[in-house]
């Protein structure tokens, strides 16, 4: 639910359906799924798309479609490890950029991306009507 901003609240059931649709979209194209494990327990994952060009410049990019870390495992380097592995995979695939979307309210995720050198390129604005 950290992907949902307060300006556009949504019920958890709708967010789950949207996530399932995202998974269907990802499965239909070239991608990498990275899974973080502690022993045999899965504690996080990342979905990387490699054939989704930037919608403005049409330049190739890696696109982080989704990243999640189990709440009890956050702030322990799991997100950083997933992000570093995704960047390595994008480089291996010859992608010159990595892009993602994150809500302004997700301070922890924004700090992670800031720490890894991500810059704000454009903003999505929303207004309730």
The string of pLDDT tens digits covering residues 105-128 is: 889 999 999 999 999 999 888 888
Read off the pTM.
Answer: 0.84
The string of pLDDT tens digits covering residues 67-97 is: 999 999 999 999 999 999 999 999 999 999 9
Q: Is the domain defined by 12-115 classed in CATH 2.40.40.20?
A: no
Residue with more model confidence, 1 or 15? 15
Close Cβ partners of 50 (under 8 Å, ≥ 6 residues apart)? 30, 31, 32, 62, 63, 90, 93, 95
Task: State how far the Cα of 94 lies from the Cα of 7, in Å rounded to an integer.
Answer: 37
């Amino acid at each position: 639910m950290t992907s949902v901003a307060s300006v556009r609240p949504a019920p958890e059931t709708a967010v789950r359906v949207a996530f399932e649709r995202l998974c269907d979209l990802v499965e239909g194209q070239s991608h990498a799924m990275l899974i973080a494990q502690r022993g045999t327990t899965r504690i996080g994952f990342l979905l990387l798309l490699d054939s989704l060009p930037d919608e403005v410049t049409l330049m190739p990019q890696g696109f982080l479609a989704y990243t999640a870390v189990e709440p009890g495992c956050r702030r322990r380097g799991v997100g950083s490890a997933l992000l570093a592995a995704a960047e390595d995979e994008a480089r291996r695939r010859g992608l010159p950029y990595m892009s993602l979307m994150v809500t302004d309210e997700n301070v922890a995720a924004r700090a992670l991306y800031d720490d890894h050198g991500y810059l704000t390129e454009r903003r999505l604005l929303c207004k309730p009507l």
